[in-house]
Amino acid sequence: MNINPFELMKNFQSLQTKLNETQEKLKSVKVVGRAGGDMVQVEMNGRFEVLAVRISPEAVDPQDLSMLEDLMKAAISDALNKLKEAIRLEMSDLTGGIPPGFFGV
């Protein structure tokens, strides 16, 4: 089997370009995690930055702050799961359908 280093470099550069394009695309991705029937919402972007947190008044009970904490945790987890799925879909286009974790990452 002959490996052409020039072809390999060309493929690597193409992959690098596609990766940069994908990273730019992901910057504009926005997801909203929800919990408690939308009583708590957390909006995140593709860079895992929290853009907004919305808490409805009925979610705030000074006598039961643990409920609000649980709702916050659930909304953040929901947003992260949605974001991971969006990233997985973008990356599957880039990797040509190679399953996630194939290279141990």
Domains of the chain: 29-94 (3.30.1310.10)
Rounded Cα distance, 42 and 80, in Å: 10
Positive or negative torsion for Cα 69, 80, 38, 53: positive
Average pLDDT, the chain: 87
Question: 100: which 2 tokens?
Answer: 């996630």
Confidence of residue 98 (pLDDT cuts 50, 70, 90): low
Predicted pLDDT of residue 102:
58
Tell me what the mean pLDDT of segment 96-101 comes to: 62
Q: pTM, whole model, 2 decimals?
A: 0.74
Rounded Cα distance, 49 and 90, in Å: 18
Predicted pLDDT of residue 105:
46
Give, for 87, the enclosing helix (H) or strand (E): helix 65-94
The total number of residues written for the chain in this structure: 105
Question: 65: which 2 tokens?
Answer: 């702050």
- The 10s digit of each residue's pLDDT in 29-73 is 999 999 999 999 999 999 999 999 999 999 999 999 999 999 999
